[in-house]
A and B are shown apart, each in its own frame.
Chain A
Amino acid sequence: MVAGRIRDRPIRQAQKEIRVSGSGMSLWRYAAMRVVQSLPLILGIIVINFLLINLAPGDPVTALIGDFPAPAEYIETVRQQFGLDQSLGVRLLTYIGNVLQGELGFSFNYRVPVLELVLARLGRTLVLMITTIVFATAVGLGLGIMAAKWKDSPLDKFAVGFATVGYSIPVFWSGQLLILLFAVRLGWLPSSGLRSTRIAYEGLALYGDMARHMILPVLALSLRYIALTTRLTRSSLIETLNSDYVVAARTRGIPATRILWNHGLRAAATPIITIIGYHFTFIVAGSALVETVFGWPGVGRLMYESIGARDYPTLLGILLMVSVAVIIVNLITDILYAFIDPRIKYD
């Protein structure tokens, strides 16, 4: 949810600027300006997250000591080590100072540097999410195009129905069903994990093994994205194909397929790219569930576990890195607009 909120503002702002400024600014200057603009945003994210996390009830030390009463001296030592004996303000300033030096701190819960921990997990989540987005976009586009082209046909009705159902099924449920069918009943695919535990593959075989482990989570995760992309593609394409310039093109005798690709899809691409960028903003929120169901060691699960353990440095590190990732994706999305929509110009 945090990610969603962060995203909205710069996009709207950016679209306004694109329309207003019109001339005099190169693409790269625009990008640089956006990066500079995002700095206060990131600072705000740090401060708000820091306060929210630290003011929530629960103590990271009690989460660590086990199930027996810990010696008072131990609790004191841990508190000092974590810097929790200092006031909130001092801790916040120290944290900001450290972040400015590229230092994200040391995880309370895992006893390793946060940067290392989060990067490894973020990588795995991205593998899952990018595969999902690529797959879902391809399928969703295909379904959407066919539905728009043969509007009101049985295929169209299927696509619309599928989009409605697919969007409504929660991922933890579809995930369980997929596991029951393909892992337990049929035994075709592994039920969970990143790769085979027993057989350690190397090289290409390792990637093949990982791909096999990704099939079910990607399917479960894709359902929603396919549904969303299908609906969006269908509706924007139908709108475009009914617009005056397409009608004009048709009267000029341009073949229907060429109209579809050159006129229709090009105009419909902008909202589709928006939705792809939008998917990225849900990397953490969207992956937490699927990562839990499928035992995929990604950043969503790390965040969930860090909340339970009150692992402040890890939580802040995740939120910060995800925020930065979202800002970058937004920037990329905006740049892609310029290539796809002839009306948007940065220079």
Chain B
Amino acid sequence: MKHAGKNLIVFAILLLMVTPALFGGGAPERPVTVRDDMVIAMGSDPEHLNPAITTGYPVAAVTANVYSALVWRDNEGTPQPDIARSWDVSEGDTVFTFHLRDNVQWHDGEPFTSADVKFTMDEVLSQYHGRFENIYRRISSIETPNDSTVVITLNEPYAPFLISLTVFDAPILPKHIFEGQNVFDHAATTAPVGTGPYRFVNWDRGNQIVVERNDNYFGDAANISRIIFQMIPDENARTVALQTGEVDYIWGFYLPTAGLSELRADPNIEVWQGVRIPALYFLFVNNDNEPLDNPLVRQAIMHAIDRDLIVDLAIEGLGNTAIGPMGSAFPYLYDEAFDLSSLYPYDLERARALLNEAGVGSFELTIVYDSGRPAFADAVDIMRDGLSNIGVTLNLQPQERSVMIESVYMQRNYDLSMQSFTSGGDPSIGYHRIYITQAFGTPFVSATGYSNEQVDELLAEAAITVDLDRRGELYRQANAILAEDLPLFPLFEEKSVEANNRDLRGLRESLDVRDQLHRARWAD
């Protein structure tokens, strides 16, 4: 009897230990037929699902098809009607009148009106969205003469205004849900209610986010009924999941270049490559530190960085090194005369001569970079090798992203720092910030300390110039100064690469591959 009691207790303890197994199961879901859904791999969860309060990639990736905006940008970058059916622009390019679609409903059934647009811009985007804040400063008024009209008046023309009204820069939130609420911890910040082609279903953190077709969508209803965003933290595991068919689509942001050759060889997979929204990879140079304050030294270092080798080895050839100070993807701002690959080719002799001319012997530099980016580590190794040939010792300092932000932007405690900035679809959105004079202590702007009044003026003028010929001339003048001063080292402009199941059609219909997913469909 005593023995049996003991056994019972042991059994009870074991049972207790196994009970948590019941935690693991999720709520059972309705089974769906295969091929009526699309699985997109992501690296990690978004922080939340409110695209109006962050410029982070993963948040927009999931919400771009849940929310709508006034416009979307097609493959060419041209604005197309989204929730605004059409618009008129006044002479002088300062007054924009948007005519909204009628009978649009939020996913909760409430009617969408012009008040939602005004509320989102005035109360949320202007305060919490990094890129829209920059637009909002140029807006003098937002008026809503009726439920289906929004009139936005600018202080002065702004070239990229229309293209800044996409779901990535200006998603429209529901006023009836967010008005007077705290946008940070409101339930709709993690369970969004939008007007887009897909409605939010559920978010199993660390595992997946599911959205399903919105049958009341104002545009063409989505072809694919469900999209599942699957979190796969390991790079290789993402590639493998595409090969095994567990995943259908991987955006370039989440696609490791190391696995590309294997994917290219796989007959079931389509690998797409090209330039969409250009992004520039470059080295910030701390212009306050000796001897980097000397332009000759900066030029010497540029000559000693083998950019072609970096592109070949670190990013599998997916980059273009024939670029000016602001890349080359925007034809109106690129000028061969200021192409850095011809001005500063990899030439160690020239580099040594320049250092002699500057009267500088051997010295050490510290390079800070985000340790979470494998391509950065490879590129930095190649640079260290090149620089050692001209007597420059590169001390590597890989840092976690949040630590890197502190060292580079907050404390400027670095000599060189590898970075990549997106153009955001227009040089004035994404590229100006790396050259214009910047106050100390803001992340993701110039951290070089470089300040040139003439450059500041030229770029400010370019931002408000709508005529492309005139705008190009301004960039030509700015590029001339920047190519000589070399306040930072542009390395290459990135080519995008993506991989998807060969049977998927209708992807990449828009400039940013993350929106317009309702156009995607399976081949018959």
Chain A residues engaging chain B, CB cutoff 8 angstroms? 57-60, 62-74, 77-78, 81, 106, 109-112, 117, 119-124, 126-127, 130-131, 176, 179-180, 183-184, 187, 190-195, 197-203, 206-207, 210, 292-295, 297-298, 301-302, 305, 308-310, 332, 335-336, 339
Contacts and interface: CB of A to CB of B under 8 A. Distances in A.
B17 A130 contact: yes
A74 to B, nearest CB: 5
B45 A74 contact: no
A58 to B, nearest CB: 4
Contacts of A66: 54-57, 59, 130
Given A58-B406, A110-B45, A332-B13, A193 B246 contact: yes
Nearest to A332: B13
Contact of B28 (A131, A192, A200): A200
13 contacts: A58-B400, A62-B402, A66-B55, A69-B433, A74-B130, A77-B127, A110-B47, A130-B18, A190-B244, A194-B207, A200-B28, A200-B29, A293-B234
A182 to B, nearest CB: 10
Given A67-B56, A67-B444, A110 B205 contact: yes
Given A183-B244, A292-B233, A295-B231, A198 B32 contact: yes
B37 to A, nearest CB: 6
Interface string B403-416: 10110011000000
B298 interface: no
Contacts of A65: 54-56, 130, 443
Contacts of A297: 204-207, 231
A58 B21 contact: no
Given A184-B243, A193-B246, A202 B28 contact: yes
Contacts of A210: 24-25
A123 B56 contact: no
Given A64-B56, A297-B204, A305-B233, 6 more contacts: A63-B402, A68-B444, A110-B45, A192-B241, A206-B26, A297-B207
Contact of B228 (A109, A198, A294): A198
Contacts of B272: none
A212 B56 CA distance: 35
Contacts of A298: 206
A160 to B, nearest CB: 30
Interface string B1-44: 00000100110010001101111111011111010010100001
A123 B23 CA distance: 5
Given A69-B130, A191-B244, A123 B24 contact: yes
Nearest to A66: B55
A124 B205 CA distance: 12
A308 B444 contact: no
Contacts of A60: 402
B233 A301 contact: yes
Interface centre among B24, B26, B130, B208 (most CB of A within 10 A): B24
Interface in B52-84: 53-57, 59
Contacts of B53: 74
B405 A59 contact: yes
B127 A295 contact: no
Interface in B192-240: 204-208, 228, 230-234, 236-237, 240
Given A67-B422, A71-B130, A194-B24, A109 B47 contact: yes
B189 interface: yes
A197 B208 contact: yes
A106 B47 CA distance: 13
A119 B205 CA distance: 12
B266 to A, nearest CB: 10
B178 to A, nearest CB: 14
The B interface is mostly helix, strand or loop, or mixed, namely mixed
A160 B31 CA distance: 47
B409 to A, nearest CB: 8
Interface in B238-294: 240-241, 243-244, 246-247
B177 to A, nearest CB: 15
B495 interface: no
Contact of A292 (B234, B406, B409): B234
Contact of A202 (B31, B185, B402): B31
A69 B445 contact: yes
A69 B232 CA distance: 28
Contact of B190 (A73, A111, A192): A111
Contacts of A207: 25
B522 interface: no
Contacts of B230: 193, 197, 295
Contacts of A293: 234, 237
Contacts of B422: 67
A122 B24 CA distance: 9
Nearest to A68: B130
A197 B246 contact: yes
A121 B26 CA distance: 12
A200 B10 CA distance: 36
Contacts of A72: 442
A207 B21 CA distance: 10
B128 interface: yes
B60 to A, nearest CB: 9
Nearest to B36: A198
Contacts of B442: 69, 72
| Max chain A Cβ within 10 angstroms of own Cβ: one of B39, B56, B205 | B205
A117 B205 contact: yes
B400 A308 contact: yes
B23 A126 contact: yes
Contacts of A70: 55, 128, 130, 133, 443
Given A193-B230, A309-B47, A126 B21 contact: yes
A129 B180 CA distance: 45
A210 B39 CA distance: 18
Nearest to A203: B28
Contacts of B243: 184
A51 to B, nearest CB: 18
